Amino acid sequence: MTKTKISSLERRIANIGRKHRYLNLNVGEVSLPTSDESEEHKHNMYIFESKKFDPEKPYITIAAGVHGDEPDGITGVLEFLERNSDNQELMSMANYTIIPMVNLQAIEQGQRNVDGDIGRQFGKKHQDDPVLRMVERIVGDRPVDFFVDVHGERFKGVCFYVQEQTYKRGRKKVELPQIPEMIVKDLKQKSMKIYSGRGNNLGGTLRSQGVIQTDAREKGTFESYMYRNGAAVSMTLEYPAGLKRCDTRRKYVYVPLESGIRHFAGLFPEYKDVIRKR
């Protein structure tokens, strides 16, 4: 992706910030060292947050652009924001923090990573990456209930990696309903393609079609970081980067996001007590 593309994304984000009725756009500044030590590379970190925080409602965080070569994840999230800028019903279901371009320098260069994969360094004490530090500060303020990190895989169907907490209510073990399976069901109803999972070498266990259960002990991913910081459901949405049309790929971002939010927010009143005891 070229520089021009970035500035058009930034303009689009600013535009959403002006128009959105339920989310504020906050802008943080990240300073990155360059190879020439006398210079610093500065860029913005864009953060959409609910105008009012209601502690009775679930707290949902969505991120995209951890990898710089998955642009449809970013534009899919922007499309989600645009489509719902007036949607009181959906926007008032939860409190939101949405970071559409996490790793702006990598996005600018159209590369997966700059200086190593930040998607493997979350929560690690020795890291000193300013992007990570800022993201950890943003999402570390309050415990997040439901987290979605948007990525792309070269498949021809969407899939999810998920970590979910189990809880005790009295002496009984409480299993939360499986949100990714609920999303898969919705997508199938819309005739959207799900990754079969056959022959997957993705790490984790294939739990059902398109849903891969990952190991919470694996450290360094954004998802395991959020999980270990208390998210009841922490998952990766892998839009099908193998599909030809970019408008279709974007649809595989905003449709499952909305579906996941609705299911999680719908179940929250019932499970709030166990989820919040952490």
The stretch near Zn ion (CB under 5 A) out of 30-38, 47-55, 64-72, 127-135 is 64-72
Our finding on whether 151 is near Zn ion (CB under 5 A) is: yes
The stretch near Zn ion (CB under 5 A) out of 7-15, 50-58, 138-146, 147-155 is 147-155
Site string for Zn ion, 99-138 (x = CB under 5 A): ----------------------------------------
Per-residue CA distances from 235 to 62, 79, 180, 246 (Å): 10, 20, 8, 23
Our finding on whether 20 is near Zn ion (CB under 5 A) is: no
- Pick between residue 25 and residue 78 the one whose CB is nearest to Zn ion: 78
- Pick between residue 93 and residue 241 the one whose CB is nearest to Zn ion: 241
- Pick between residue 49 and residue 149 the one whose CB is nearest to Zn ion: 149
Our finding on whether 67 is near Zn ion (CB under 5 A) is: yes
- Pick between residue 151 and residue 263 the one whose CB is nearest to Zn ion: 151
- Pick between residue 58 and residue 157 the one whose CB is nearest to Zn ion: 157
Interacting residues toward Zn ion by CB under 5 A: 67, 151
